[in-house]
A and B are shown apart, each in its own frame.
Chain A
Amino acid sequence: AQSVTQLGSHVSVSEGALVLLRCNYSSSVPPYLFWYVQYPNQGLQLLLKYTTGATLVKGINGFEAEFKKSETSFHLTKPSAHMSDAAEYFCAVSAYNNAGNMLTFGGGTRLMVKP
């Protein structure tokens, strides 16, 4: 079984401030980890993913995330927030097994950026 917990359903930052969105997971097998972004009235778009190898993963729009196995975490960061970053962000875990690409999502974090 696998699960994802995103701490904080709403996060508010000022423009130019650090963005930190928290994600903790549980998985019975080595996980694949993902961050998706959903802009208002749109579908989900992949920001970045971790499969194997380097634990610091860089994605689009200046976001990055670090896989920390000892902490079972995959927090998303961006050094300087832009107004255009306002969206909802979803962390997801996948355990590739015979059942296929089972993605389990966290509850989502809505990021608000203040001018």
Chain B
Amino acid sequence: EAQVTQNPRYLITVTGKKLTVTCSQNMNHEYMSWYRQDPGLGLRQIYYSMNVEVTDKGDVPEGYKVSRKEKRNFPLILESPSPNQTSLYFCASSFSTSVQYFGPGTRLTVT
């Protein structure tokens, strides 16, 4: 089954404790991206990757890191999480046609 998976689905952590949210797709998509969803703001892009070893900042990259060592994986790293990064995070992937397939989401709470 074609899908985008994210882990964990729910995470509660404390300020400053490094964490990684994994994202994997099995559709051989070149393009992958991370979004955060906040009430009234819709989804805002954090980082995106056009292919292996090619990443770039989206609209709200501060406080986040990503890597793309393999085509199928695109982890999101928060080196020192802060409460303002409490949000719902979505990973997405696509070929070059702009139709993105979204993962189920990761709800992160930073206390």
**Chain A interface (Cβ within 8 Å of chain B)?**
4, 6, 9, 32, 34, 36, 42-46, 49, 51, 90, 92, 94, 96, 99-108
Contact = CB atoms under 8 A, between A and B. Distances in A.
A49 to B, nearest CB: 6
A90 B96 contact: no
Interface stretch (B40-48, B68-76, B77-85): B40-48
Interface string B64-106: 0000000000000000000000000010101011111011110
A99 B56 CA distance: 9
A105 B44 CA distance: 7
A101 B32 CA distance: 9
A103 B45 contact: yes
B50 interface: yes
